[in-house]
Structure 1
Amino acid sequence: FIGHLQTNKVKNVVPYAALIQSIDSEHLLKAVNDYAARIGKVQDILLEVFVASETTKQGLSEAEAVDLAERIQQYQNVRLRGVMAMATFTDDMDRVRREFSNAASIAAKVAAAAGIENLEISMGMTSDYEVAVQCGSTMVRIGTAIFGAR
């Protein structure tokens, strides 16, 4: 699942999602964990980190992401697989590169805090995936390239 997830919609997503890429608060993390426990599932998740300059983007700060990663073991029904980030929607690839580099740096800190090797880094969409891969992305979201514009 990719996209902003409201806590009241968790029950509609957790039974079907292999991976939720947009955990952007501890409140949402707890809701996902609790619902996954109710249905006997361990839900794979990515922490969404905020690196863009757009106020329309969601995500945890670096400090919040590291703090949650340090305490992730207290949530028995979620499994932290990595981080997700979205860069500013712009043609300025230098700016995008800085934001993705920042996300990769945060990902390394999250991995260390949680004791995770081979952390997934989901960043890069159709317009900027090449820069994302250069900055360490292990997962790109290129729906527009595959399916066309909405």
Structure 2
Amino acid sequence: MTETAIAANLAAARARIDAACARVGRDPEEVELLPVSKTHPQDALRAAHAAGYRRFGESRPQELEAKASGLADLGLGWVFIGHLQSNKARVVAELADEFQALDSLRLAQALDRRLQALGRRLPALVQVNSSGEPTKGGFTPDEVPAAVRDLRALDGLDVRGLMTLAANTDDEDAVRACFTTVTALQARLRDEHGGGFDALSMGMSGDFEVAVECGSTCVRLGTTIFGARALSAP
């Protein structure tokens, strides 16, 4: 995809985010558009950078390493958004600026050890399985409050909010229910911990406008920006 096309896609997506904010009386500045660059070539990221974007979502440790090296001249920020195996924690601990898929205490402990050894503290979002689908990772809504208490005890992680993937369906009511489940959890956590938990990463290419209407502060857009995903990582 050309640089011009990527810039146009970013502008169109931003306009849709802003319109969704207007429908519910939100400030568009509250919502980040995070381009999800996994499987897309480095030239695509350079095009998005030229359009003003500085943070990108990746979900494969090896691909993150390659892009962080190949694009080091741009000073990009990297958000890891996919399932991470504990034995791959090193890459995220060293290179990521944010981790949006904290889905188990075991993984959190592995990350924490790596981060403390590096003297780093990593912003993180707790993944919620709001749809109940077995193919999706994360804590169930009922597990989240206790999990957050355990996760906040780890010095290397700065737990700032929640992330979810909505149900894989065209039923907008079902999708909206997933997002409102997470916003309700956010309110509960704020009450229990005296504030915080400001980040809600909800919404992808097929449902991001609904997510914004439900309170998302970060939408993760891949195909909407870069086109169809490559069959394998470059």
Please indicate the TM-score interval, normalised by the length of the shorter structure.
over 0.9
Match of 1:41 among 117, 120, 123: 120
Match of 1:137 among 216, 223, 226: 216
C-alpha distance after superposition, 1:18-44 (max 9, x if no partner):
110000111111111111001110011
2:226 equivalent in structure 1: 147
Q: Contact conserved, 1:69 with 1:114, CA < 8 A, in 2? A: no
The residue identity in structure 1 corresponding to 2:224 is A
The answer as to 2:199 corresponding to 1:120 is: yes
C-alpha distance after superposition, 1:63-115 (max 9, x if no partner):
32211223444211110111000001111111101111111111222333343
1:31 equivalent in structure 2: 110
Question: SS state of the match for residue 15, structure 1?
Answer: helix
How far does residue 144 in structure 1 lie from its aligned partner after superposition? 1.3
Q: Which has the higher contact order (CA 8 A, sep 6+)?
A: 2
How far does residue 142 in structure 1 lie from its aligned partner after superposition? 1.1
Q: Contact conserved, 1:82 with 1:111, CA < 8 A, in 2? A: no
Gaps of 5+ in 2: 1-79, 230-234
The residue identity in structure 1 corresponding to 2:139 is L
Q: Distance in 1 between matches of 2:190 and 2:198?
A: 6
Q: Contact conserved, 1:42 with 1:79, CA < 8 A, in 2? A: yes
Q: Contact conserved, 1:129 with 1:140, CA < 8 A, in 2? A: yes
Q: Distance in 2 between matches of 1:86 and 1:100?
A: 8
The residue identity in structure 2 corresponding to 1:26 is L
2:154 equivalent in structure 1: 75
The residue identity in structure 2 corresponding to 1:25 is S
Gaps of 5+ in 1: none
Q: Contact conserved, 1:10 with 1:31, CA < 8 A, in 2? A: yes
Question: SS state of the match for residue 90, structure 1?
Answer: coil
Q: Distance in 1 between matches of 2:148 and 2:168?
A: 27
The residue identity in structure 1 corresponding to 2:117 is R
Q: Distance in 1 between matches of 2:195 and 2:109?
A: 20
Which structure would you say has the larger Rg? 2
Instruction: Please give the root-mean-square deviation of Cα atoms over the aligned residues, in Å.
Output: 1.4
The structure-2 alpha-carbon separation of the partners of 1:90 and 1:49, relative to structure 1 and needing over 3 Å to count, comes to same
Q: Distance in 2 between matches of 1:118 and 1:78?
A: 13
1:56 equivalent in structure 2: 135
Question: SS state of the match for residue 47, structure 1?
Answer: strand
- Percent of aligned pairs with the same residue? 39
Instruction: Tell me how many residue pairs correspond in the alignment.
Output: 150
The structure-2 alpha-carbon separation of the partners of 1:69 and 1:99, relative to structure 1 and needing over 3 Å to count, comes to same
The residue identity in structure 2 corresponding to 1:15 is E
**TM-score for the superposition, normalised by structure 1:** 0.93
Question: SS state of the match for residue 225, structure 2?
Answer: helix
Q: Contact conserved, 2:105 with 2:151, CA < 8 A, in 1? A: no
Question: SS state of the match for residue 69, structure 1?
Answer: helix
